[in-house]
Every structure is written in C-alpha cells, then in structure tokens.
Structure 1
Amino acid sequence: MKRTNLYLTEKQMERLRQRSEQEGVAIAELVRRAVDSFLAWDDPTYRPMPPTPQTGKSHSSPG
C-alpha cells in the first residue's frame, strides 16, 4: 500500500468516525472502500485488491 494525505471537511470526518465505530474498521479502510466503489462505478473491468490483514499498531491522525 502507498500512504497518502487528503483533506476532508469536518462533516466528512465526523461521518467517517461514526461509521468506523459502527463497523469496527479503520477510517482508512472506509476510504479505500469508497475509492474502490468510485473506480468500479463505470469500469466493469476494475477489480479491487482483497483487504490485507493489519499487522502491528494501527495509526490514526489526531482529530
């Protein structure tokens, strides 16, 4: 995986935090899922990579 930075609105972050807690997955995983959905939207040949198990400590930015 490649690390990247992106800017989200406060509302987007709050919704992602809520969803992350509800589903028990990291915000980064939710963002990867959203990107996969976007890329597959109009490209039937797009196949996302299966999720890889997280190892070590999870990282989160201060919010």
Structure 2
Amino acid sequence: MVRARKNIYFTEKQVERLERKSREENLPEAEIVRRALDAYLAWDDPTYQPTPPTPQTRKSHSSPG
C-alpha cells in the first residue's frame, strides 16, 4: 500500500475529540483519520472499496500529550 503524507488543519474542538478518541481506542490519530476518510468516501460512492486497516495500536511516543 502506498502512503502519502498530507498536512491537514483541524479546529481546536476536532483536535480535542481526536485526541480523546485516540486514547480511548488506543489507536494512532492518523489511523482514526484514515478510517473516518474511508467512511466518508464510501458514504456516497458504493463502488469505493477501502483498504482493510492494518491492526495497530498507538505507540507511547506517537502522540504528544
């Protein structure tokens, strides 16, 4: 799977919610964003087939906080 780095700006509220979800699910924030994007892209395009997520957990150094 090819990966590309993107810069995305979030609102303060989005950052707070994303950080909380990351802690609760023990997942990296990037994985949560990828899953959310897959759900959005599949929402109105029934032909969209997301790549199954690779099981992963957040590393202790992957998120400041």
Into which bin does the TM-score normalised by the smaller protein fall?
A: 0.7 to 0.9
Matched residues in 2 for 1:21 and 1:59: separation?
Answer: 11
Instruction: Give the aligned partner of residue 18 of structure 2.
Output: 16
Number of equivalent positions: 60
Question: Once superposed, which parts of structure 1, at least 4 consecutive aligned residues long, lie more than 3 Å away?
Answer: 57-60
Superposition RMSD in Å: 1.9
Return the TM-score normalized by structure 1.
0.80
Matched residues in 1 for 2:44 and 2:19: separation?
Answer: 28
Runs of at least 5 residues in structure 1 that lack an aligned partner in the other structure: none
Return the TM-score normalized by structure 2.
0.78
Runs of at least 5 residues in structure 2 that lack an aligned partner in the other structure: none
The one of the two structures with greater contact order (alpha-carbon pairs below 8 A, sep at least 6) is 2
Percent identity between the aligned chains? 62
